[in-house]
């Protein structure tokens, strides 16, 4: 990369640099909806080559977004992604870019390729850096590079790279595309990250076809930069060694089936369809998922990097929702519907945003735990006769501020989610009855005590069974204070809250004073049981149905419960263990 003297307003302050790096995140994201739309519109069987190219560019744009977030974190900024600025509505313009280029959501085809070539256009070798109103993305990044170099020279590297290293996404992240995730902590790594971004987009040194990486699908083939990958599709021929931008591609033919595309109406909008209609509802569903993805990415880039695989997993849900839309003919029968990428105000979200403590069940995905809820292990203590006695508190598990717990049972880093649910297409459909406890409970009332139970909450921890009989049967002898004490103590230990008791028929339940925490439960024989959520932490269902906050909730983590998201004891049947 060259270090030309800037001719437009240079970046001279740390705040100015942070502002530009936030713009870089917005710029990298602005290419994602158009590329995803084109990708979703492709019939992968009829168009394997075009699918490969668009997917590879999309993945690299996500890498660039990650690198931009690493750069901003490294200089002490806080990446913002869950913002209407990232989803301004289409058609739109590249953020802070040349406003003669309109960015549209169109299906794959000649129009899409012309747009993508304009977005990825390499800068001229002698083009000056431009920190705002840039003509090419390369000029914008060159202005950032100049700013970083200037600030390091003026202030010293240690005064520029003041961010928390724990916020960096590093090379351990299992990114599956070409290029490298680079953790940024000094000038050298910052320049490396900027080079990766620009060369993948434009080619090395602005005038080379190749981007310096290997093809993500064919390791023996060098990768051409984004601009030239799109040019190969447009011209129907590959670049080969010796080719230059001037010669154009002279290699083997590239086959594109221009009809193997879902004919999506350009720039779809929810306002084109009646509220409550099939297309409108499906578009709103997509927008909820996309905003949830942005929210997860924002959390991942702000101190919870282990959420990145969870965010990546949401891409599978997006693809399914987009392809469902593209199977729906528009009302005029001229085209099919498409995703609208519209911002959903946090107040209208299916799942709340913010820092409050809560557990969010992601559709067919993990439990996302917000608000730094303590996580620990707890082990059931069982007597020699096999009867459940009490709980032993185990070690605290270190967590990030926001973290995701595996719900499918298949993560290789249990109890945390590692994204496997998306690969195995976990079916996490919720079937548990959301009716409030008191409306479902049956009860046995006796003098001074009312025993209550909701059968469907039971996960068979067996605290309700005494040496010879159940606590329900013991209610006949509740005049005996020892019996009464045994019943109340065992009910307090019931992890699912299936049983509760009150001190009178008309009294509210007398709940144990449980802390706000989540316990990873182990039962006898090292059997891995559910996740015990205590202290009335709200649990938000994936389907958006309201659920009362209860003092004790046992969530399934083996993936096999027939009463999801609640544990129903299936972990016993399948012998679920961790790891
Ligand atoms: S829910 Fe994500 S790996 Fe199990």
Q: Which residue has the higher pLDDT, 355 or 577?
A: 577
Average pLDDT rounded to a whole number, residues 530-537: 97
- Is 496 close to ligand 1, i.e. is its CB under 6 Å away? no
**Cβ pair 285, 359 in contact under 8 A:** no
Kindly give the distance from the C-alpha atom of residue 163 to the centroid of ligand 1, in angstroms, as a whole number.
30
Are the C-beta atoms of 216 and 80 separated by less than 8 Å?
no
Give 501 Cα–ligand 1 centroid separation in angstroms.
35
Task: Take residue 415 and report the two structure tokens written for it.
Answer: 């109890």
Task: Return the DSSP state at 347.
Answer: G
pLDDT of residue 131: 74
Q: Is 417 in the pocket of ligand 1 (CB under 6 A)?
A: yes
Widest CA span of the chain, in angstroms? Answer: 96
Kindly calculate the radius of gyration of the chain based on its CA atoms and give it in whole angstroms. Answer: 28
The label of the residue with tokens 């499906």 reads: 282
**Closest Cα to atom 2, ligand 1: which residue?**
417
Least confidently predicted of 208-212, 404-408, 478-482:
208-212
Give residue for tokens 């995730």. Answer: 181
Dihedral of the alpha carbons of 427, 429, 431, 435, in degrees to the nearest 10? 150
- Residue of 309, 311, 366 with the most ligand 1 atoms within 8 Å of its CB, for mutation: 366
pLDDT at 468: 78
DSSP letter at 186? Answer: S
β-partners of residue 403 are 369
CB 401: neighbour CB atoms within 10 A? 15
Separation of 420 CA from ligand 1 center, angstroms?
Answer: 5
Q: Does 365 contact ligand 1 (Cβ within 6 A)?
A: yes
Q: Is the CB of 366 under 6 A from ligand 1?
A: yes
Provide φ and ψ at 416, rounded to 5°: -85, 155
Tokens found for residue 431: 């079937």
CATH class of 14-235: mainly alpha
What is the 368 CA–ligand 1 centroid distance (Å)? 11
Which range has highest mean pLDDT (55-64, 211-220, 236-245)? Answer: 55-64
Phi first, then psi: what are they for 92, rounded to 5°?
-145, -165
Tell me, what's the pLDDT at 213? 59
Mean pLDDT score, 430-450: 94
Q: What is the pTM of this model?
A: 0.89
User: Is residue 510 in contact with ligand 1, taking CB distance under 6 Å?
Assistant: no
Residue 20: asked if its preceding bond is cis (omega within 30°), the reply is no
**DSSP letter string, 8-36:** S----SHHHHHHHHHHHHHHHHHTHHHHH
The structure tokens listed for 256 are 């594109």
How close are the terminal C-alpha atoms of the chain, in Å? 47
Q: Provide the pairing of β-strand 517-523 with 499-502.
A: unpaired
Distance from residue 370's CA to the centre of ligand 1 (Å): 17
Confidence band (pLDDT; 50, 70, 90) for 203?
low
User: Closest Cα to residue 374, out of 395, 391, 390?
Assistant: 395
The domain segmentation of the chain, as residue ranges, is 14-235, 274-349, 369-433+514-574, 437-502
Answer yes or no: is the C-beta of 408 below 6 A from any ligand 1 atom: yes
**Pocket test residue of 314, 405, 426, 565 for ligand 1, highest count of atoms within 8 A of CB:** 426
Q: Is 182 helix (H, G, I), strand (E, B) or coil?
A: coil
The pick from 296, 309, 312, 408 for probing ligand 1's pocket by mutation, whose C-beta has the most ligand atoms within 8 angstroms, reads: 408
Instruction: Give the position, in ligand 1's atom list, of the atom nearest the Cα of 559.
Output: 4
DSSP H or E segment with residue 235: helix 226-235
Question: In percent, how much of the chain has pLDDT > 70?
Answer: 95
Task: State which of 309, 362, 363, 406 you would mutate to test the pocket of ligand 1, scoring each by most atoms of that ligand within 8 A of its C-beta.
Answer: 406
Please state, rounded to an integer, the average pLDDT across all residues of the chain.
91
Is the CB–ligand 1 distance for residue 410 below 6 Å? yes
Which residue is it, tokens 């900024």?
A: 77
Residue 160 CB–ligand 1 contact under 6 Å = no
* Tens-digit pLDDT profile for residues 266-322: 999 999 999 999 999 999 999 999 999 999 999 999 999 999 999 988 888 899 999
Tens of pLDDT, residue by residue over 164-186, are 999 999 888 776 777 889 999 99
Q: What is the mean pLDDT of residues 226-231?
A: 92
Q: 424: CA distance to ligand 1 center in Å? A: 9
298 lines ligand 1 (CB under 6 A): no
Are the C-beta atoms of residues 405 and 418 closer than 8 Å to each other?
no
- The pick from 360, 415, 417 for probing ligand 1's pocket by mutation, whose C-beta has the most ligand atoms within 8 angstroms, reads 417
459 contacts 567 by C-beta, under 8 angstroms: yes
Task: Determine if ligand 1 sits within 6 Å of the CB of residue 564.
Answer: no
306 lines ligand 1 (CB under 6 A): no
């Amino acid at each position: 990369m060259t270090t030309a003297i800037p001719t437009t307003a240079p970046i001279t302050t740390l705040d100015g640099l942070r502002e530009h790096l936030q713009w870089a995140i917005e710029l990298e994201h602005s290419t994602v909806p158009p590329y995803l739309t084109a990708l979703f519109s492709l019939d992968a069987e009829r168009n394997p080559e075009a699918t490969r190219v668009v997917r590879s560019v999309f993945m690299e744009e996500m890498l660039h977004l990650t690198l931009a977030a690493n750069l901003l974190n490294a200089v002490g900024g806080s990446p913002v992604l869950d913002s209407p600025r990232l989803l301004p509505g289409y058609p739109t313009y590249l953020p802070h870019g040349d406003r003669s280029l309109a960015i549209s959501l169109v299906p794959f085809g000649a129009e899409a390729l012309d747009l993508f070539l304009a977005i990825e256009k390499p800068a001229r070798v002698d083009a000056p850096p431009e920190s705002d109103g840039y003509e090419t993305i390369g000029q914008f990044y060159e202005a950032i590079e100049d700013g970083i170099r200037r600030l390091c020279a003026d202030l010293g590297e240690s005064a520029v790279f003041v961010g928390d290293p724990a916020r960096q996404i590093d090379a351990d992240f299992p990114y599956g595309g070409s290029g490298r995730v680079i953790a940024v902590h000094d000038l050298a790594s910052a320049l490396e990250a900027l080079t990766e971004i620009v060369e993948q987009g434009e080619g090395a040194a602005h005038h080379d076809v190749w981007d310096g990486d290997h093809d993500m699908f064919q390791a023996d083939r060098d990768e051409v930069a984004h601009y030239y990958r799109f040019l190969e599709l447009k011209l129907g021929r590959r670049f080969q060694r010796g080719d230059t931008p001037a010669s154009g591609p002279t290699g083997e033919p590239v086959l594109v089936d221009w009809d193997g595309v879902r004919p999506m109406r350009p720039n779809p909008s929810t306002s084109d369809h009646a509220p409550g209609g099939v297309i409108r509802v499906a578009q709103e569903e997509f927008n909820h998922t996309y905003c949830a993805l942005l929210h997860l990415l924002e959390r991942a880039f702000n101190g919870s990097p282990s959420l990145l695989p969870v965010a990546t997993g949401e891409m599978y849900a997006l693809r399914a929702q987009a392809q469902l839309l593209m199977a729906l003919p528009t009302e005029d029968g001229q085209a099919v519907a498409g995703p609208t990428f519209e911002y959903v105000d946090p107040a209208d979200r299916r799942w709340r945003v913010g820092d409050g403590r809560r557990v969010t069940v992601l559709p067919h995905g993990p439990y996302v735990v917000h608000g730094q809820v303590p996580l620990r292990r707890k082990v059931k203590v069982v007597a020699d006769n096999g009867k459940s006695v009490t709980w032993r508190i185990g070690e605290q598990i270190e967590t990030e501020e926001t973290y995701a717990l595996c719900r499918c049972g298949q993560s290789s880093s249990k109890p945390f989610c590692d994204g496997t649910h998306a690969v195995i297409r976990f079916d996490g459909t919720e079937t548990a009855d959301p009716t409030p406890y008191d409306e479902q409970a049956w009860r046995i009332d006796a003098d001074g005590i009312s025993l209550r139970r909701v059968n469907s909450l039971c996960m068979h921890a067996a605290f309700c069974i005494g040496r010879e009989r159940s606590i329900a049967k013991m209610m006949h002898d509740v005049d005996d204070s020892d019996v009464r004490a045994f019943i109340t103590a065992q009910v307090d230990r019931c992890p699912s809250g299936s049983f509760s008791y009150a001190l009178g028929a008309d009294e509210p339940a007398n709940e144990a004073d449980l802390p706000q925490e989540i316990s990873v439960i182990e039962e006898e024989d090292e059997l891995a049981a559910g996740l015990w959520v205590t202290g009335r932490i709200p649990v938000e269902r994936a389907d958006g149905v309201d659920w009362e906050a209860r003092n004790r909730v046992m969530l399934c983590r083996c993936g096999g419960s027939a009463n999801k998201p609640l544990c129903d004891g299936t972990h016993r049947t399948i012998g679920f263990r961790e790891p």
